[in-house]
Structure 1
Amino acid sequence: ESDLATGRRGKRAAYVEQCLAELCGAEAAMVTNNCAAALVLILRHLTAVKKEVIISRGELVQIGGGFRIPEVLETSDAVLREIGTTNRTTLNDYAKAIGKNTGLLLKVHRSNFFMGGFVASPDRRELSSLARKKRIPFVEDLGSGVLTDTETWAAGHHETTPREVIKSGAALVCFSGDKLLGGPQAGIIAGKAKHIAALKKHPFFRALRCDKLILTALQHAAEIYLRGEGDTLPLNQSLQADPKQLKRRATKLAKALAKLPVTVAVAEGESQVGGGALPQANLPSITLDLVPEKLSLKDFATRLRRATSPVIGVISGQRFRLDLRTIFPEQEKRLLRSITESLS
């Protein structure tokens, strides 16, 4: 790790941190090994003296792998101060809960589910204003994180960006480096320089640092976004794929399979974004539907998973279905070989 300007030992993540800060519109940024780790680090630091974390009951969510936000927060030795109800929390609920032992206000983005009907929660700008007035930090955990506008490809659904959170006045925001960002698994923290500097000095950060391979991959993704080429990342190519182009590709694949012992059809379908994001958005897609003549669908699926180039699809409506959004053009030859191999 060498600093090219001074010739002395450099800081491993300095460049990628600068890139991420620029993308988020933040004073500074840092990287941990995942978003849960980022949140625990934040809480360990900000609740070192004042233990209480104020959070809405409507945001005590369960994330991937069965982990629950309350359990994650409690590992930091913080004390949860739950306010409001499942469906409604007001700014006054936050204001009344603030006391001499309040360490921070925490907002957790409901990224993998949504609530409708008789619901209410304060805007993050209101929370930022209240936090500044009371001289306590306001922190938001965005979960999946996204750096570009989603409305154009997600049927008008908007996913909050880290830049929007920082612009609202939050002291810190944390989010994932994979998922909707499209990089490697990592936890990114962005915000006020004084908080980032303190987090980097925290002894617990040593256990959460990323290695050089992760930082290099994250740097590559960040540079692509900074060049305005985020659409070229594989994730975004899948999310933004044109159904008309997908149909042309599926039709071509169907023709290539015509002489094999399998019934092939091209059909319309829907894709879910996944990655704990945009739960209301169903993306129109095209599927390649296969029904083998001499194999059960279960055996066919098993053979495809065990093929030289493994293929994973879904059994639905008495058909084995492949979503063309999940298959890149350069993978089509290998797909055809795997299907041929599995039918032999």
Structure 2
Amino acid sequence: MAGDPPRPAPDPRRGIPPVDTVLRDPEVVDHVARLGRQRALGVAQEVLGLARHGALPPAAVVDEVAARLGDLDAPRGTRPVLNATGVVVHTNLGRAPLGEAATAALVAAAGYADVELDLTTGRRGRRGGSVVDALLRAVPEAEDALVVNNGAAALLLAMTALAAGREVLVSRGELVEIGDGFRLPDLVGSSGARLLEVGTTNRTHRADYERALADRAPAGGAGQDRGPGARPDVAAVLKVHPGNYRVTGFTSAVPVAELAPVARGAGLPLVVDTGSGLLEPDPALPDEPDARSALRDGAGLVVASADKLLGGPQAGLVLGDAVLVERLRRHPMARALRVDKLTLAALGATLRDPASAPVSVARRAPADELLARAEALRATLARRGLAAEVVPHDGRVGGGGAPGVPLPGWALALPEGLAGPLRLGDPAVLARVHDGRCLLDPRCVPPAQDAVLAGAVLAAAGRAGDVTSGVPPTGGRPAR
């Protein structure tokens, strides 16, 4: 009737669905089954609370609950990534990818395995004995070997077992910083050993070591109360390969063959950290130290990583004098640093055929093969309307190995804006952004994955919209 007051608008909260209706919705019900009703109920009640307070439209309740449960239900953990950077040992991508044999061995060892059992006698055996035997076959100059959980652990155990409470002689030019801000002096210091530096940042000579050892305290001096000016109480000599950088110009360092007699003459073990895990000389990497050469030249112990140039799982290798290795093996810290059965299985398989490890295959990939793969990828994208260009591109060993050594190859150049969508795709693809371009180097992508890479690029281009329009910029110098 005229003059009647207007009716109030209906309360939108009347449209909020009941909680049971939400949990039975087809978009939600599968998540409820996997996560459990109680967990899903808590999420639904939280979302319904938002709706009751007007922070969420009632019509959006089911979608919001489904999205939140989907996030909880999504698989967690590491995601596989296609490495299109050209960096073979990429620390941020887990360093060395495992080969087929190592992966199969890892799966086979997932159940019960003869980790510390001698199947012949039925008695307890040496832990990882078959892997130690494989290491000794690969490095016959070593009398014994030990495997711990990474390269830094191998050095830490060596310093703790051999020099805790005493000095370790090291060149000042070898006090390196490794990944994420970790520094060698801090690592050695945590073992209880004290570094005694010799030489200068750019030049260290044999005489520097000899002078430092000339007045060393006699054996048995460990633990004595030593004030300022006391003679050094040296327990070991340490040589570290600075594998993640290269110093050029007016430089000098003392090679193992020259340093070994100095340590031997003082009755001290020489510990050599070769870093990258190269077991024998490689003509393609003439400046990269290897375990066999270091032991032949007189090192008492060699420590290295297994997940770099060797191409195995994350592990630390200790090779050398049997008495020294046994001292490390019997130290209480060795128990805390030991590896599990999966690492042992993958490492053993890698040692049986290191040439087939993906790291070895990728760093030795011929440039003409990489060119053919890049051209085939460009042609595939062109057929789908996406322009790209094949450009020269030098890969790198990476992972603290062979710094500055180029690995000649080729890459596909795309607009820079594709790098983000590629990283966020499924599968994730990590490219290199350089000179305003997104570069895809096929070196570290298994050839069987080339079609997957092409699909990932097309999908990323579709999500990126007009970022892919036109031909990628070609100005500037080649991405060498």
Structure with the higher strand share, 1 or 2: 1
Measure, in 2, the Cα distance between the counterparts of 1:122 and 1:198. 27
Which residue of 314, 327, 336 corresponds with 1:198?
Answer: 327
Residues paired across the two proteins, number: 329
Q: Give, in angstroms, the shift of residue 261 of structure 1.
A: 4.0
Q: Give, in angstroms, the shift of residue 148 of structure 1.
A: 4.3
What SS does the corresponding residue of 2:123 show, helix, strand or coil?
coil
Measure, in 1, the Cα distance between the counterparts of 2:461 and 2:207. 64
Measure, in 1, the Cα distance between the counterparts of 2:162 and 2:392. 50
Moved over 4 A (4+): none
AA in 1 matched with 2:267: R
AA in 1 matched with 2:199: G
1:169 to 2:285 alignment: no
Structure 2, gaps ≥5 residues long: 1-113, 218-232, 463-480
What's 1:11 paired with? 126
AA in 2 matched with 1:209: R
Measure, in 1, the Cα distance between the counterparts of 2:150 and 2:199. 29
What's 1:208 paired with? 337
Q: How does 1:302-341 map to 2 (within 5 A)?
A: 302-341=420-459
Measure, in 2, the Cα distance between the counterparts of 1:117 and 1:305. 39
**RMSD of the alignment, in Å?**
1.4
After superposition, give the CA deviation of every residue in 1:155-180 in whole Å (9 maximum; x if it has no partner): xx431110001101111010000111
Q: Give, in angstroms, the shift of residue 253 of structure 1.
A: 1.2
Measure, in 2, the Cα distance between the counterparts of 1:239 and 1:159. 14
What's 1:250 paired with? 374
Measure, in 2, the Cα distance between the counterparts of 1:164 and 1:92. 23
Q: Note closer, same or farther for the CA distance 1:282–1:162 as it changes in structure 2 (3 Å cut).
A: same
Calculate percent identity across the aligned residue pairs.
39
What's 2:247 paired with? 115
What's 1:287 paired with? 411
Contact 2:236–2:268 at 8 Å: present in 1 too? yes
Q: Give, in angstroms, the shift of residue 339 of structure 1.
A: 1.5
Measure, in 2, the Cα distance between the counterparts of 1:120 and 1:342. 49
TM-score by length of 2: 0.67
Q: How does 1:67-78 map to 2 (within 5 A)?
A: 67-78=182-193
Contact 1:12–1:212 at 8 Å: present in 2 too? no
Structure 1, gaps ≥5 residues long: 225-229, 292-296
Measure, in 2, the Cα distance between the counterparts of 1:104 and 1:286. 46
AA in 1 matched with 2:192: D
Measure, in 2, the Cα distance between the counterparts of 1:335 and 1:307. 11
What SS does the corresponding residue of 1:241 show, helix, strand or coil?
coil
Q: Note closer, same or farther for the CA distance 1:83–1:5 as it changes in structure 2 (3 Å cut).
A: same
1:27 to 2:143 alignment: yes
1:93 to 2:208 alignment: yes
Contact 1:150–1:158 at 8 Å: present in 2 too? no
After superposition, give the CA deviation of every residue in 1:314-338 in whole Å (9 maximum; x if it has no partner): 2223321101212221111111221
AA in 2 matched with 1:211: D
AA in 2 matched with 1:61: V
Q: Give, in angstroms, the shift of residue 116 of structure 1.
A: 2.0
Contact 1:265–1:290 at 8 Å: present in 2 too? yes
The structure having more radius of gyration, on CA atoms, is: 2
Contact 1:104–1:138 at 8 Å: present in 2 too? yes
Contact 1:149–1:158 at 8 Å: present in 2 too? no
After superposition, give the CA deviation of every residue in 1:177-207 in whole Å (9 maximum; x if it has no partner): 0111100111100001111111111001111
